[in-house]
Structure formats: structure tokens, C-alpha cells
Chain A
Amino acid sequence: MAIAEATPSVVAGAPLEPPARTWLRRLGIIVPAALIALVVLACFLGPLVLPIPEPTGGNILEAYLPAFSPGHILGTDPNGNDILSRILYGGRNSLIVAVGVTVVGQTIGGTFGALSAYFGGAADTLIMRVFDVFIAFPALVLIIAVAQSLGPSVTTAILALSFFGIPAVARVSRAATLSLREQPFMTAAKLCGTPWWRVLLRHIAPNIAPQLITFAMLGMGLIIVLEGALSFLGLGIPPPAPSWGNMIAEGQASLSATPMLVIWPSLALFITVLSFNLLGESLRSLWSAR
């Protein structure tokens, strides 16, 4: 990624701080980053390493087992599937959706926002008005329409949620680019007749990357939550394939009798979202302190 190579030059030269604060700041990044790494490893590698059953195809005669049953640490669901296994595999789906939406949102929204600011004038007005329409439009209706016409799936969830992400990222990217517009290097680039895509990749992208990455981290958490909300409306990843959202939504149907069906996936969701938020916040204060 072009952004990555240029980033160090931007970050370099952070002001000197008292060691205690620096340490605290580092901790603020290391701890949530480690948690996220742990969640990712557990979800993607865990099932390969640990002796746990498949998330689907359980024995129906082992339905509704309580936690700490032999072979099922967190118990089983109404179909006799292992809940721990479903949480790990479900995490894969939730994370894939979150990454997918973030990539789509950052690429499309980020590009349009930056271009909008770079060109200014009528192009800017047009692009931002179109995004205004999307922001004013109840995203839920859009999501229902997309999910119902395409049928629920991981791809649909990514597509539907991207409608949330694109305009928001566009705004962030536009604001960040605007502040660059008067910088000497931009003027220089323009004077040299550098093509717009080159300016975008070489000059704008590295400089707005910190804002976008911060926004992406905060957005990841939000998207994981929204993916679950889709399941509540029956539009998320369809069972039996697990996702945290559909586990919570399905478990809700018998909340008072089997609360753990909701509590386990909710905990996983909460810890992951919290980690992304903490990381996003720490990055934000790191970059804004520069």
C-alpha cells in the first residue's frame, strides 16, 4: 500500500514528552492492539489448533447443554452445536465483514473525499451533495432493500454496510485534504502539472492516512455492531453459519430461559469492539498531539 511507505516520514518528529506519559501512551496502543491480535488469532487459528468441534452439524440430541459440559466448555445451542466453536467461527465472519466494509469504505469514500477537496468547485459540490443525500437517507431502508434483493450473505452484509461507511469516510478524507490544499508541496505539484492520480497517491494519501486509519479503527467497532444489528432484522449472515450478531439475535428468542446463548457472543463482541475503540482513541490522541 502506498500509504504505508510514506507514513513513517509523516509520523517522525513527535514532540518530546515526559517518559511516564509516553509509556502510558504506548500502553494505550499496545494493550488494545494485543487484544485485537488475540481475537484475530483465536478466530482464525484457534479452530485449527484447539480440539473443538465444527460450528455446525452438531448432534441434535446434545441440544441445550449448559456451560462446562464435557466436550463443550460453553455448552451447546438448540441444534447441539458447540457455542465456543460458533463464537470463534462467528468472529471470523464478523471480522471479515468489518474488514471488507472498511476496505470498501476507505477506498471509495477516501478517494472521492480527497478528489472532491482537491478539485474543489462544481465537482466538490456535486460529490458532497450526493453523499449528503446518502447521509440523509435512512440507511436502514437501503440495507433492507439490498439484503432482500440479493439475499442475505457475507457479501450482501459488506455491500449493505458500505453505504454507511462511504459517505462518512468521504467527509473525513475531504476535511483532511482541504487542510492540505494550501500547503506548498500541493501548489508545487499542481504547478509542475503532476497528474491528479499521482498527487492523490504520492502527496495526499500519505498525509491524510493518520486521520483515515484512526477513523477506520473506530469504524471497525461500529461495523461489527451494525453487522449484528442486521441479524436482528433477519438480514445478516444467515444461520447456520455463525456470526456474533446472529447468535445474539437467535439467542434473544429464549433470553429468559437460556440467557447464556446471548451473553457469550455479546462478551466476545464487546471485548472486540472495545479494543478497536481503545486503539482508535489512542491513535487519535497520538496523532493529534503531534
Chain B
Amino acid sequence: MTAVAERQGYRGAWTQALRSPVSRLVVKRLLLAIPIMLGVTILSFWVVSLIPGNAAQALLGPEATPDQIHTMELQLGLDKPAYERYLDWLGHAVRGDLGTSPVSGQPVTPQLIDGLAVTSELLGLALIGALVLAVPVALGAAHRPGGLFDRLSIFVSMIGLSVANYVLALVLVLVFSVKLAMLPAIGFVPLSESVSGNLKSLILPAIAIGFPLFSIYTRFLRGDLVDQQQSQDYVVTAQAKGVDPWRVLVRHTLRNSSFGLIAVVGLNLGVLIGVTVIIEQIFALPGLGRLLLQAVSARDMVVIQACVVVFAVVTVLGNLAADLLQTVLDPRIRYGDR
């Protein structure tokens, strides 16, 4: 085989792969994510410039004179027009350099990674915990709609939907830390230090985030399962054939309903990140939320911008991943109109 043929072969494979609906969707979505990310970074530049004060004040201390502040602003390049600063930032960001904080003099990326590690562990625990509990509860509820277990699950998830997570966090602290002294009220123990300590330090915040999630997932999944059982032919057929209803529920109905659930999980990621900021604050966890709040109070534009980008990437990727998973798992989904 000649090199040319080989190359053509590759190209053929590529074109073919690109023609497949799945990869077309992937490419389309990825391309779509680019203007969204650009929009988000521009918006954040503009939004942060609305906040009064800037990093010069944080560097100089409160008794700095306006002259000193002005000099420092020149040094930091804050006098340049916003679009110039933005392009400058963008140029570095696309090369993976999120900059050096003018306030601490430290590069942002390591701080970001440290914070992200804590936040993603917390979110991961909350998400997985919520899903692991929601699926069996929804199955149990959908097995006999209107039954006692179903009613109970509706009751519990209604509470979960209605309780503010900061209130839940405070109640958990009051009961498990203050009254029972079972779990730490605050702080974070890295996994490298102690596995059990790590889990203990995250369990209350993970519940505060996870319980409302569990409620959303349970309600959604239960609703979808019940709908399918009542309307889908294959379920009726299977039931008529005398297949064990549990088996139908788990093997078939659940499989189909899981697509919708994945979409719900993905779409929720963006909201979740906002929630963690407050929960991290209550439990004094050194995550991204705390990094962001500290950066806002020091007017540390570089760190704020980096946090916003990470949040936006997670949100966009979450939506994307949900979309893609649905496509891969569910060949029925057509994307004609979207």
C-alpha cells in the first residue's frame, strides 16, 4: 500500500466518522461551546469591572492615598482599555496560562487545582450518593404507583425540594456536630492525610447538597418510569407474557428512563456549582467557592476570571456530556430539529 492510499484511507475513515450522526453532533456541540465560552469570558470581564474597587487597594492596604492607588493601577496595567486587557488575557488563557494573581504574586493554576480538587470531590460525593439512593427509591416507588412506599417517597422528596440547602446545612450541623458531636462541623481533611477523616469532613456538606438532588432525581425518575409503564407497548407486552414486573422495570423501563435522568443530571451541574459556594462557606471547605469569594473581596480580577472560566467549562461540558451520553446510549434519539 502506498503512503498516499494510506492517507486517503485515513481521510475516508475520517469523513465517514464525521458523517455518522453521533460525531456530527459532537462536533456541532463542541463548536457551539466555543462562542458560549467566549461570551462567558467577555461577560465576566465586564461584570467584574462593575464591582467597585480593584486589586491596587488590596495590595496597598486601606490607608493608601488616591495617588498611590493610581500609581499601582498603572503598574498593574489597569488603566488599559478593557478590551485590550481582555484580549491580552485571552491570548494567555487559550495557551493554558490563566495568569498570576497580582495580589498574592502566585500563579493561579495551582490554587485553582487545589480548589477544584475539593469542590469536585464534594460534588462527586453528593451526585453519586444522590443517584445511588434515587434509583432504587424511584424503582420501588414506580413498582406500585400510589402505594405506601410511593407516597412516602413523594413526601420525602417534596421536603428535599423545599428545604433551602443552607438551612439543611445548619440543621445538620446543629444535630450531628453540636448536639451529638458525631461529625466535624467544619474544615477539610485531604484524602492523602486520612481516608476516614476525609469522608467525615465531607459527609455533612455532601448531604446538604445531595438531599435536594436526590429529591429531584427521585421525582423525575419515578415520574418517567410510571409514564413508560403506562404507555409503552413493550411493557404491556412483557407484562402480558407474564415476565416478572421487577425484571421489566429494571431491565427495560429503567434503561429507557435513564436517558432523561442523565440529561437532568447534566443540566443541573451549573446550578450545583452555585450551591457549593454557599455550602463551602458554611463548612469552611477550601474549595473553588471560597477561592472565588476571597478573590472578590480582594478584587483579584485574575483569580475571579479563572474561577468563572472553570465554572463555565464545567457547566458547558456537563450539558455536552449529558447530550452525548444520551446519543450514545439511546439510538432512538434523533437530532433533526436541534
Contacts and interface: CB of A to CB of B under 8 A. Distances in A.
Interface stretch (A44-52, A108-116, A199-207, A252-260): A252-260
A130 B36 CA distance: 8
Given A129-B39, A232-B278, A259-B174, A248 B167 contact: yes
A144 B40 contact: no
Task: Give the interface SS of chain B, mostly helix, strand, loop or mixed.
Answer: helix
Interface in B262-298: 270, 273-274, 277-278, 281-282, 292-293, 296
Interface in A220-258: 221, 225, 228-229, 232-233, 248-249, 252, 255-256
A266 interface: yes
7 A-B pairs closest in CB distance: A133-B39, A274-B162, A138-B311, A225-B164, A145-B47, A273-B162, A149-B50
A173 B178 CA distance: 46
21 contacts: A132-B36, A132-B39, A133-B40, A135-B315, A136-B40, A137-B40, A137-B44, A141-B296, A141-B311, A144-B296, A248-B164, A252-B282, A255-B173, A256-B178, A266-B164, A266-B167, A266-B171, A269-B167, A270-B163, A273-B162, A278-B158
Q: How large is the interface on A (under 10, 10 to 19, 20 to 34, 35 or more residues)?
A: 35 or more
A88 interface: no
Interface in A254-288: 255-256, 259, 262, 266, 269-270, 273-274, 277-278, 281
B112 to A, nearest CB: 14
B51 interface: yes
Contacts of A138: 270, 273-274, 292, 307-308, 311-312, 315
A22 B336 CA distance: 39
A221 B212 CA distance: 13
A142 B162 CA distance: 25
B145 to A, nearest CB: 12
B50 A146 contact: yes
Nearest to A150: B50
A136 B315 CA distance: 6
Contacts of B308: 137-138, 141
B39 A262 contact: no
Contact of A129 (B36, B165, B166): B36
Nearest to B299: A148
A141 B173 contact: no
B166 A232 contact: yes
A256 B307 CA distance: 33
Task: Give the interface SS of chain A, mostly helix, strand, loop or mixed.
Answer: helix
Given A133-B39, A145-B48, A266-B164, 10 more contacts: A134-B43, A135-B270, A137-B40, A138-B292, A145-B50, A228-B164, A249-B166, A259-B174, A266-B167, A266-B170
A256 B180 CA distance: 12
Given A129-B39, A140-B277, A277 B161 contact: yes
Interface of A: 129-130, 132-142, 144-146, 148-149, 221, 225, 228-229, 232-233, 248-249, 252, 255-256, 259, 262, 266, 269-270, 273-274, 277-278, 281
Interface of B: 32, 35-37, 39-40, 43-44, 47-48, 50-52, 158-159, 161-167, 170-171, 173-174, 178, 270, 273-274, 277-278, 281-282, 292-293, 296, 304, 307-308, 311-312, 315-316
A274 B167 contact: no
Contact of B274 (A132, A139, A148, A255): A139
A228 B166 contact: yes
B36 A136 contact: yes
Nearest to A139: B274
Nearest to A251: B170
Nearest to A274: B162
A132, A135, A138, A233, most chain B CB atoms within 10 A? A138
Contacts of B35: 129
A248, A255, A278, most chain B CB atoms within 10 A? A255
Contacts of B44: 137, 141
Nearest to A129: B35
